[in-house]
Structures are given as structure tokens and as C-alpha cells.
């Protein structure tokens, strides 16, 4: 069954597909998926994450209760424990006693646990699991494709064996074969449930959601909230359009994307792949560009003319830089490693291709490096401004995309902090740079902060669920900032701008009080990356 507003179709070259039966506006929720067959945290984090609702101990800020039988699975409360027992833990609980006895561990690697769960649910004749994973089940497995890849298949054999042994299942050739087929289906259909807020991963598999095919220029995206996946339109979708999401980071170069898609066993024929388009070329064709009128990059012309006046570097150069960067990035993320990674971005930086990886990832990492050291802390602000105006809008042309909203929220928080320090004169003491200090001194950082918060509240309301932590936090901060004494006039103008960005007076104020200082700060970023960050001087 397909969710309301969609229907299942079958295409000759791509198998089953999900197609819209009515139009969806950009940002609109297409469907929610709350009854996954698999929803589990990654390996060892099953000890620090509620095994049912998948909220982490850190986000809940309290200790979790452990299953008294297996002493492995943990829960945030008795209702989650009962619900998990019903959906799967009843079948898998004894497995963890075996694991402890055999290898002295209280967790299993994610794929092993996932395969064991499916096999145990099949054994218990669970209807949904049978319909998806049973003989003639709905899920594509690309079994032959995996079998042809010797290295992958050898890996699958080990994982399948572990699932059968720890699952306490009959160790027959038939069971092992079945376990490998289950693994193929999981690999093809499960989502990496990357939690944007905590950075925690895990896997999520829902049989209906698995019907969605891939494109590197998708028209939809998925967000996760606890045990629910939400499918939203990334741009307007017309009735009759196939709904497509990206299985991988679609901003990476073509060969890196192809490497990521290898495990799905198909050749992507999207325009980005066929014409080998870079991030800017894709952004320039995006139908959601006009939404950026209400954003930190309201100069819509930039979407079609950027990078300005520079010769584009070839995709081969991008590939080489990214490959070298990936090796370097794996070696560390401290200041020295980040500086080395930045050097590998040189060719792209000279061409001003700021939104092309590995530049954004390196700058984002530099933000963390700055924040870890009091003498460089303030540099995080110009670097984040740069990401918000020169990288994120071109990588994610829709301003409601959660990663983009998160970047603006990061700025709001930094500004709240620098405003507090400037007011107490603490910033001048810690700010490592005179020019930065001067820009901050003359800017109204509270106005900038409020502008950011209004953007977050506006876009998160469109592209995320009401209880998204970032949205809640932004609303609370906005309430505080709005009610600060002495800023009634500024706040009224920003409120007016949020309601009508075309209002001349409000728009001019937003430009003067928010956009101009953000651009001035961003202008310092490359100098910081090229030198000051690594040898701060005053």
C-alpha cells in the first residue's frame, strides 16, 4: 500500500517506484512512515540510546533503564520498553545473553543485529516482515549483484553467520543463504538514520518508504524524528511525477557519488550525472531559487552567476582534491589536520568555488577547531557567516532544508554569545583579531541574532516537524530576544520584515542591520582560513 497522495508504479528500468497522485508544494509533508520493520541505533550506541524511540541519553539528559533479562537493550521509559518488547525485543532478547557468554560484549554490530531481527521475526511469522522479506517479498535485494562482488559477498557471509549463530537459529546451509538474502535486502532498502541534531546514526527500514528510487537531483528528502521518517517535497511536485530522494550525499563529485551508489547496483541517469554538473550548475537550475528572497542570500542573481568571474576548475581537479582530502580527513580533525585539509582546497578556492566539497566540510570543521580554543573562539562567527551565505544556499537551494536551517541556527547562537561578551566587554579581551573586533563593535549583534532566529522559525515551520528541537529552541530564544528592554523598535521592524520581506522600510532595515554585517563578517573568512586561524595575532 502506498501512502495517501501517492501510488506505487512499476517502471521497466527502475522497478517499483512511488509516484505522486496530487501536487505537493516545496517543503510540504508528503507522508510519514511510523511502523518501520527495522529501526535500530548503531552498534554500541544501543547502550546509550532508547532502543525503541531512538532518543539518546544525552538528548534526554537522564539515565536509561536496562532490560533486566538481556542487560543489553536500554529504554527511556517503561512504555518504550513494552512497545519494543512487542515489536521485536521478545524475539531477540535471548540473543544478547548468547553474545555476552560467547564474546563478553553487550551489543552487536548493526548489520548482524538487523539480520538476526528479521530472521527471528520471520520465524515468528510476523506478517509485515514476511510481506517484505519472505519468499516473493516486496523488497528488491540485488542478490546477484552482491554475489558478483567477491569482497562484499565474503563480508556478507561473515555477518550472516554471526546473525544465525547469535540468533540461536538452525545453522543450516538454507538458513545461511536466507540470512545473506536478508542482508542484501537490508543493504538495498535501509536508510542510514543519521540524526541531524546528535550526529548519531542507525538504520531504518520501512517497506513503503523503500519503494522510492534515487536521483542526485531529487524532488524530495527524508527527515527522521524518533521512530518516524518524514518524506517532504524538496521542490514542487506535480501529480504524476515520480518521487525521488538521494540515497547519498548528492553534492559530492560524480565518481564519489557513483562509488556510494555501487552498493545499489544501478547506473544513475539523472541530469547531474549525465552532464556531470557541479553544485553551482545544479543550483542555477533549481526551481526553488525565488524562495531565497527570504534568506541570508537574497541576491537571486547570484544563483545563476556564481562563482563570479572565475574560471571553473574541471571535474577531474575536484575529484583529485576530494580524494586527497578524504585521506587527510580520516587522519584527524584537530587544527593541524584542518590546516592541511584546507591546503588541499587551494585549486577550488582560487576558482572561488566555495560551495564545492571539500571546501564547506573543511570550513565547518574549522568552526569546531575555533570553538575548542578560547584564543580563536570568535573566528567561528565569520566562518559560519561564510558557510551561511557562500556555501549552504548553493548546496541546498531550498532554504527550508534542515541542514541549512541548522547553519543559520548555529549563527544565531554564536551571535547571542558574542553579543553577551561584547556587552560585558569580554569579547575584546578574547577576540584574536582587530578587524573582526571592529566589525562586531559597530554591529548590533542582537539584531543579527533576531534576524537569524526569525529565519529559522520561518523555514523550520515549513520544512520540519513542529517538535523539531531546533525549532523549539529558536522559538524560545526569539521570545527572550524580542522582550529585551530597549530594542522594541528594532524588534518591531524585524517582525514586520518576517511578515512581509518586500515592505520597503522593513527590508531596508534587515539589509542594514542583518545582511550587511553578515557579509562584512563573511568577507573575513578566507583570510582566517588562509592564515589567522593557525597563528592568531592581535
Ligand X SMILES: C[S@@+](CC[C@H](N)C(=O)[O-])C[C@H]1O[C@@H](n2cnc3c(N)ncnc32)[C@H](O)[C@@H]1O
Among 6, 51, 129, 189, binds ligand X (CB under 6 A): 189
Nearest residue to ligand X on Cβ basis:
15
User: If binding is defined by CB under 6 A, does position 16 make contact with ligand X?
Assistant: yes
- Which of 214, 352, 406, 454 binds ligand X (CB under 6 A)? It is 214
Report residue 266 as a C-alpha cell.
544501478
Nearer to ligand X, 203 or 533 (CB): 203
Stretch that binds ligand X, among 8-16, 62-70, 281-289, 406-414 (CB under 6 A): 8-16
Q: Which is nearer to ligand X, 1 or 308 (CB)?
A: 1
Contact 43, 50 (CB under 8 A): no
| Segment (H or E) for 11 | strand 6-11
| Shortest CB 168 distance to ligand X, Å | 30
Q: How many helices (H) and strands (E) does the chain have?
A: 27, 12
**Residue 458 binding ligand X, by CB under 6 A:** no
Q: Which residue, 446, 459, 473, is CA-closest to 232?
A: 459
The contacts of residue 337 (CB under 8 Å, 6+ apart) are 328, 329, 331
Beta bridge partners of 65: 75
Of the ranges 12-20, 312-320, 367-375, 513-521, which one interacts with ligand X (CB under 6 A)? 12-20
Contact status: 9 vs ligand X (CB under 6 A):
no
| Shortest spacing between CB 270 and ligand X, in angstroms | 7
In the complex, least distance from residue 274 CB atom to ligand X, rounded to whole angstroms:
12
Shortest Å, Cβ 319 to ligand X:
21
Q: Is 193 in the site for ligand X (CB under 6 A)?
A: no
Q: Judged by CB under 6 A, which of 2, 5, 14, 77 binds ligand X? A: 14
* Cα–Cα distance measured from residue 399 to residue 397, given in angstroms and rounded to the nearest whole number: 6
List Cα–Cα distances, 229 to 13, 202, 221, 241, 298, in angstroms. Answer: 27, 13, 10, 21, 31
**Spatial contact of 448 and 519, defined as CB atoms under 8 Å apart:** no
Residues 484, 525 contacting (CB under 8 angstroms): no
Kindly identify the residues of this chain, within the stretch 245-304, that bind ligand X according to CB under 6 A.
Answer: 264-266, 268
Q: Between 140 and 195, whose beta carbon lies closer to ligand X?
A: 140
Looking at 56, 188, 279, 376, which residue binds ligand X (CB under 6 A)? 188
Told to check if 210 binds ligand X by CB under 6 A, we report yes
We find the least distance from the C-beta atom of residue 156 to ligand X, in angstroms, to be 15
Interface region with ligand X, contact rule CB under 6 A, candidates 212-220, 323-331, 412-420, 499-507: 212-220
* CA gap 455, 64 in Å, rounded: 35
* Residue 187 engages ligand X in binding (rule: CB under 6 A): no
Q: How far is the CB of 266 from ligand X (least distance, A)?
A: 4
Report the C-alpha gap between 321 and 359 in whole angstroms.
10
Is residue 213 within the footprint of ligand X (CB under 6 A)? yes
In whole angstroms, the minimum distance from the beta carbon of 147 to ligand X comes to 14
d(CA 272, CA 278): 7
Q: Which stretch binds ligand X (CB under 6 A): 207-215, 295-303, 443-451, 529-537?
A: 207-215
Least Å from the CB of residue 142 to ligand X:
5
Residue 457 belongs to what H/E stretch? Answer: helix 445-463
Applying the rule CB under 6 A, the residues between 124 and 143 that interact with ligand X are 140, 142
507 binds ligand X (CB under 6 A): no
Task: Evaluate whether 159 touches 109 at the Cβ level (below 8 Å).
Answer: yes
Please give the C-alpha separations between residue 369 and each of 19, 55, 197, 376, in angstroms, as whole numbers.
44, 27, 19, 8
**Helices in 344-467 by DSSP H: which ranges?**
346-350, 359-371, 380-386, 392-395, 402-423, 426-430, 434-442, 445-463
User: Which CB sits closer to ligand X, 18 or 385?
Assistant: 18
Residues 115 and 121: their CA atoms lie apart, in Å, by: 10
The grid coordinates of residue 206 equal: 520501512
Measured between alpha carbons, how far is residue 168 from residues 37, 98, 528 in Å? 20, 8, 57
Least Cβ distance, residue 235 to ligand X (angstroms):
17
Which residues are near ligand X by CB under 6 A? 13-17, 140, 142, 188-189, 210-211, 213-215, 264-266, 268
Amino acid at each position: 500500500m502506498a501512502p495517501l497522495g501517492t501510488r506505487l508504479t512499476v517502471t521497466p528500468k527502475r522497478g517499483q517506484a512511488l509516484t505522486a497522485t496530487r501536487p505537493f508544494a516545496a517543503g510540504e509533508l508528503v507522508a510519514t512512515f511510523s511502523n518501520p520493520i527495522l529501526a535500530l541505533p548503531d552498534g554500541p550506541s544501543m547502550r546509550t540510546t532508547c532502543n525503541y524511540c531512538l532518543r539518546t541519553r544525552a538528548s534526554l539528559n537522564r539515565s536509561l533503564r536496562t532490560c533486566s533479562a538481556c542487560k543489553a537493550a536500554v529504554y527511556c521509559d517503561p512504555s518504550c520498553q513494552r512497545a519494543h518488547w512487542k515489536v521485536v525485543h521478545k524475539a531477540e532478547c535471548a540473543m544478547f545473553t548468547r553474545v555476552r557468554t560467547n564474546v563478553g560484549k553487550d551489543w552487536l554490530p548493526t548489520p548482524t543485529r538487523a539480520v538476526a531481527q528479521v530472521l527471528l521475526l520471520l520465524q515468528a511469522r510476523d506478517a509485515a516482515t514476511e510481506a517484505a522479506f519472505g519468499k516473493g517479498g516486496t523488497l528488491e535485494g540485488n542478490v546477484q549483484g552482491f554475489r558478483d562482488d567477491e569482497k562484499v559477498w565474503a563480508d556478507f557471509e561473515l555477518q550472516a553467520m554471526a546473525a544465525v549463530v547469535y540468533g540461536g537459529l538452525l545453522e543450516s546451509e538454507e538458513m545461511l543463504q536466507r540470512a545473506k538474502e536478508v542482508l542484501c535486502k537490508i543493504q538495498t532498502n535501509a536508510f542510514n538514520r543519521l540524526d541531524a541534531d546528535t550526529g548519531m546514526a542507525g538504520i531504518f527500514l520501512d517497506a513503503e518508504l523503500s519503494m522510492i528510487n534515487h536521483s542526485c537531483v531529487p524532488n524530495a528528502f527524508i527527515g527522521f524524528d524518533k521512530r518516524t521518517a518524514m518524506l517532504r517535497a524538496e521542490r514542487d511536485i506535480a501529480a504524476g511525477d515520480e518521487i525521488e530522494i538521494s540515497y547519498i550525499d548528492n553534492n559530492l563529485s560524480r565518481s564519489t557519488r557513483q562509488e556510494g551508489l555501487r552498493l545499489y547496483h544501478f547506473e544513475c541517469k539523472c541530469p547531474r550525472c549525465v552532464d556531470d554538473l557541479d553544485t553551482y550548475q545544479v543550483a542555477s537550475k533549481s526551481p526553488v531559487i525565488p524562495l531565497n528572497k527570504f534568506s541570508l542570500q537574497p541576491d537571486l542573481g547570484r544563483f545563476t552567476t556564481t562563482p563570479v568571474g572565475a574560471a571553473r576548475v574541471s571535474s577531474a581537479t575536484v575529484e583529485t582534491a576530494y580524494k586527497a582530502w578524504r585521506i587527510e580527513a580520516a587522519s584527524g580533525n584537530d587544527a593541524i589536520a584542518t590546516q592541511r585539509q584546507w591546503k588541499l582546497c587551494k585549486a577550488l578556492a582560487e576558482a572561488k568555488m566555495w560551495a564545492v566539497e571539500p571546501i564547506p566540510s573543511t570550513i565547518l570543521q574549522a568552526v569546531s577547531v575555533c570553538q575548542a580554543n578560547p584564543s580563536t573562539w570568535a573566528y567561528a562567527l565569520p566562518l559560519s557567516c561564510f558557510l551561511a551565505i557562500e556555501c549552504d544556499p548553493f548546496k541546498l537551494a531550498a532554504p527550508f532544508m534542515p541542514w541549512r536551517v541548522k547553519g543559520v541556527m548555529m549563527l544565531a547562537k554564536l551571535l547571542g554569545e558574542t553579543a553577551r561578551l561584547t556587552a560585558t566587554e569580554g569579547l575584546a579581551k578574547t577576540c584574536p583579531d582587530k578587524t573582526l573586533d571592529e566589525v562586531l563593535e559597530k554591529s548590533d549583534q542582537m539584531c543579527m541574532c533576531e534576524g537569524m532566529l526569525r529565519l529559522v522559525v520561518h523555514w523550520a515551520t515549513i520544512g520540519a516537524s513542529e517538535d523539531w528541537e531546533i525549532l523549539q529552541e529558536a522559538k524560545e530564544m526569539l521570545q527572550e530576544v524580542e522582550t529585551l528592554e530597549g530594542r522594541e523598535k528594532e524588534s518591531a521592524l524585524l517582525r514586520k520584515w518576517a511578515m512581509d520581506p518586500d515592505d520597503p522600510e522593513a527590508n531596508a532595515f534587515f539589509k542594514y542591520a542583518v545582511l550587511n554585517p553578515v557579509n562584512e563578517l563573511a568577507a573575513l573568512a578566507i583570510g582566517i582560513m588562509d592564515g589567522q586561524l593557525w597563528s592568531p595575532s592581535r
